[in-house]
Amino acid sequence: MKEFLSILGFTDLTSICWNTLAYIGMILIIVAVISPRLQKHFFVWGPLVLLFYAGLYLHNYILAGLQLTITVSGALNLFNIKKWSPHVVVALAALIYATLLITGQISGLWPIVGSLGLLGIALGLTQLPKKKGFAIMSLGGLLIVVYAFVLQIWVFFVLNIIFFAANILKLLKK
């Protein structure tokens, strides 16, 4: 059991606190994916929790940028700002990507894979609820699955497997 908890990131008091928070954020997002009634609020709060986890605890600015993009998109949806939402999400994703490039965060194969996942999800968000939005988000989610697996960030690995599957199911329904 101790080995399993260690794999999940529960190794000391700090990691227990941060990972518990991250798993709560993951659960909020999963609930948002499966519950249309809670979707608007939980697509803000879940990604916001994971934004702090990725940025402050993991220092993984690719995942933090992804969560910032999703949080902003969720907030725009929550406040019913539809007209400017795609423009804001694209501009934010471009700004995040440029910042990641300038600061040297995207160097090597796996950071490239993760950053392309970020761009895929951001672009997919701008295309929803069209069929191509779900297709692009599926691809972005799959890239994040690979990235999280390689880095052994299990919260993002599990979350994006579910995210990928949910987008494939929505794609098949359309």
Evaluate whether 122 touches 90 at the Cβ level (below 8 Å): yes
> Sign of dihedral through CA atoms 157, 55, 143, 121?
positive
pTM above 0.75, yes or no: yes
Task: Spell out the domain ranges in the chain.
Answer: 2-173
> Sign of dihedral through CA atoms 25, 49, 62, 7?
negative
- What is the residue-level pLDDT of the chain in tens, covering all 174 positions? 777 666 767 678 888 889 899 999 999 999 998 888 888 999 999 999 999 999 999 999 999 999 999 999 999 999 999 889 999 999 999 999 999 999 999 999 999 999 999 999 999 999 988 999 999 999 999 999 999 999 999 999 999 999 999 999 999 987
Question: Before 129, cis peptide (omega within 30)?
Answer: yes
